[in-house]
C-alpha cells in the first residue's frame, strides 16, 4: 500500500487518453457550443441513461428525461450511502452532473470530480459552483491511477463510465486505496448475461471497436463483479437490476434524433443493439454498492 500522502503517476499502459475515444462527447460538445437548447437540457448536466420509477408511465419530454437522468444519479448516490459532511470522489465525472446533484442536496461536503478529458472538466468547472458549505474540485486524471492520496474519501462513485476504464480490477484497487476503512464504492454499469459474454470478447477492427460510444468493455457479468469485490477488499451491499427502469431512455433517444440528427451510423447501430439486448434481458443495467473492509 502506498504512503498516505502519495499520489499515483498514471501507468502509460493504462492511460485512458491513449485508449478511450468518445465520439459522442465530440457531438455533444459541438452542439452545446452551438447553443442547442434540447441537447443542453438533455445532456448538458448528466451524460447517462435515465431512471424511471414507473417506466410504463414514462413521459418522453426533454424535461422528463433530464429529471430521469437526475434520478439515476440519485439512485447511485443512495447505493453509496451519501449523507451530509462526507468526502466524495466522482470518477468519470463528465460535466459534473452527479457532483452538482450532491452539491444541491447535501451540505458540508468535500466533492472531487476526476475525468480524463479536460474539455469535460472545463464545462464542469463553469457550470457547477459550491453551495451550502460544500467545496468542489475537478481534477484531470486516470481512473486506474488516481492522482489522490490514500484514505481520503468516504465514498467513491462511478456513474455509467466504468466500461470505459482500461481495467476494472485496477480501478477497484484504486477506489479501495483512496477510500477510508468502511467507505463505499457505488457505480452503475451495463452487465451482460453469461450467454452474451463470449460475443463481447470478439475482437473487432479499431474503427468498429471505437464506434460512437467509444471502446466499451462489457465483459463483467454478475459473478465477475462478485469475484472482483472479494479480490479487491470489498463486500457487496447493493446489487440492483434496474434494466426495466432505464428502457425509456431508448425511446427518448429516438425522439431526440429527429431534432438533433447524428451523422454517425454507429450511433444508430450501437443504440439499437443495446436496446434489443436489454429488452431480451441479455444486457442488464445494474447499480452496485460495495463497502471497503474495516
Domains of the chain, residue spans: 12-292
Up-side HSE of residue 115: CA atoms within 13 Å toward CB?
25
Q: CA 134 from chain center: how many Å?
A: 22
Query: Per DSSP, which regions of 57-173 are E strands?
Result: 87-91, 110-115, 135-140, 153-159
Helix (H) or strand (E) holding 185: strand 179-192
Share of the chain above pLDDT 90, in %: 78
Up-side HSE of residue 106: CA atoms within 13 Å toward CB?
23
Collapsing DSSP to helix, strand or coil, 232 comes out as: coil
Q: 186-207: per-residue pLDDT in tens?
A: 999 999 999 987 766 555 455 5
- Contacts for 87 with CB less than 8 Å, ≥ 6 apart: 109, 110, 112, 152, 153, 154, 155
Angle at 201 between CA 252 and CA 242, to 5 degrees: 35
Of 144, 117, 145, 130, the C-alpha closest to 88 is 130
Mean pLDDT, the chain, whole residue set: 90
Rounded Cα gap, residues 219 and 216, in angstroms: 9
Q: 112-142: per-residue pLDDT in tens?
A: 999 999 999 999 999 999 998 999 999 999 9
Phi, psi at 255, each rounded to 5°: -65, -40
What is the residue-level pLDDT of the chain in tens, covering all 294 positions?
333 333 443 443 344 444 457 889 999 999 999 999 999 999 999 999 999 999 999 999 999 999 999 999 999 999 999 999 999 999 999 999 999 999 999 999 999 999 999 999 999 999 999 998 999 999 999 999 999 999 999 999 999 999 999 999 999 999 999 999 999 999 999 999 999 877 665 554 555 456 788 888 888 999 999 999 999 999 999 999 999 999 999 999 999 988 888 888 888 899 999 999 999 999 999 999 999 998
Share of the chain above pLDDT 70, in %: 89
CATH 3.40.50.2300 describes domain 12-292: no
CB of 80 closer than 8 Å to CB of 289: yes
Dig out the grid coordinates for 287 from the structure: 447499480
Helices 265-279 & 248-259 angle (0-180, nearest 10): 160
Phi, psi at 290, each rounded to 5°: -120, 145
CB of 101 closer than 8 Å to CB of 74: yes
Rounded Cα gap, residues 290 and 293, in angstroms: 10
Assign residue 35 a region (left: φ > 0; alpha: ψ between -120 and 50; beta: otherwise).
left
Collapsing DSSP to helix, strand or coil, 110 comes out as: strand
Rounded Cα gap, residues 251 and 256, in angstroms: 9
Q: 256-280: per-residue pLDDT in tens?
A: 988 888 888 888 899 999 999 999 9
Angle at 186 between CA 182 and CA 189, to 5 degrees: 150
Burial 184-194 (b: 16+ CB within 10 A, else e): bbbbbbbbbee
Amino acid at each position: 500500500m502506498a504512503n498516505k500522502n502519495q499520489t499515483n503517476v498514471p501507468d502509460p499502459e493504462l492511460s485512458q487518453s491513449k485508449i478511450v475515444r468518445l465520439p459522442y462527447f465530440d457531438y455533444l460538445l459541438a452542439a452545446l457550443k452551438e447553443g442547442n437548447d434540447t441537447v443542453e437540457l438533455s445532456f448538458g448536466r448528466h451524460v447517462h441513461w435515465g431512471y424511471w420509477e414507473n417506466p410504463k408511465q414514462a413521459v418522453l419530454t426533454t424535461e422528463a428525461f433530464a429529471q430521469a437522468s437526475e434520478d439515476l444519479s440519485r439512485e447511485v448516490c443512495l447505493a453509496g450511502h451519501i449523507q451530509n459532511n462526507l468526502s466524495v470522489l466522482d470518477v468519470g465525472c463528465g460535466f459534473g452532473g452527479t457532483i452538482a446533484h450532491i452539491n444541491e442536496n447535501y451540505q458540508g461536503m468535500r466533492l472531487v470530480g476526476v475525468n480524463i478529458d479536460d474539455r469535460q472538466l472545463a464545462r464542469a468547472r463553469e457550470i457547477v459552483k459550491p453551495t451550502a458549505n460544500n467545496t468542489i474540485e475537478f481534477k484531470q486524471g486516470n481512473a486506474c491511477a488516481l492522482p489522490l492520496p490514500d484514505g481520503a474519501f468516504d465514498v467513491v462513485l462511478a456513474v455509467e463510465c466504468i466500461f470505459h476504464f482500461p481495467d476494472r480490477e485496477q480501478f477497484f484497487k484504486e477506489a479501495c486505496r483512496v477510500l477510508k476503512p468502511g467507505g463505499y464504492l457505488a457505480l452503475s454499469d451495463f452487465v451482460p448475461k453469461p450467454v452474451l459474454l463470449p460475443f463481447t470478447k470478439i475482437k473487432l477492427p479499431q474503427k468498429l471497436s471505437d464506434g460512437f460510444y467509444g471502446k466499451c468493455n462489457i465483459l463483467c457479468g454478475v459473478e465477475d463483479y462478485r469475484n472482483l469485490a472479494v479480490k479487491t477488499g470489498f463486500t457487496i451491499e447493493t446489487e440492483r437490476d434496474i434494466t426495466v427502469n432505464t428502457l425509456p431512455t431508448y425511446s427518448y433517444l429516438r425522439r431526440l434524433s429527429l431534432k438533433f440528427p447524428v451523422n454517425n451510423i454507429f450511433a444508430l447501430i450501437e443504440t439499437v443493439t443495446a436496446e434489443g439486448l436489454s429488452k431480451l434481458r441479455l444486457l442488464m443495467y445494474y447499480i452496485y454498492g460495495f463497502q471497503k473492509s474495516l
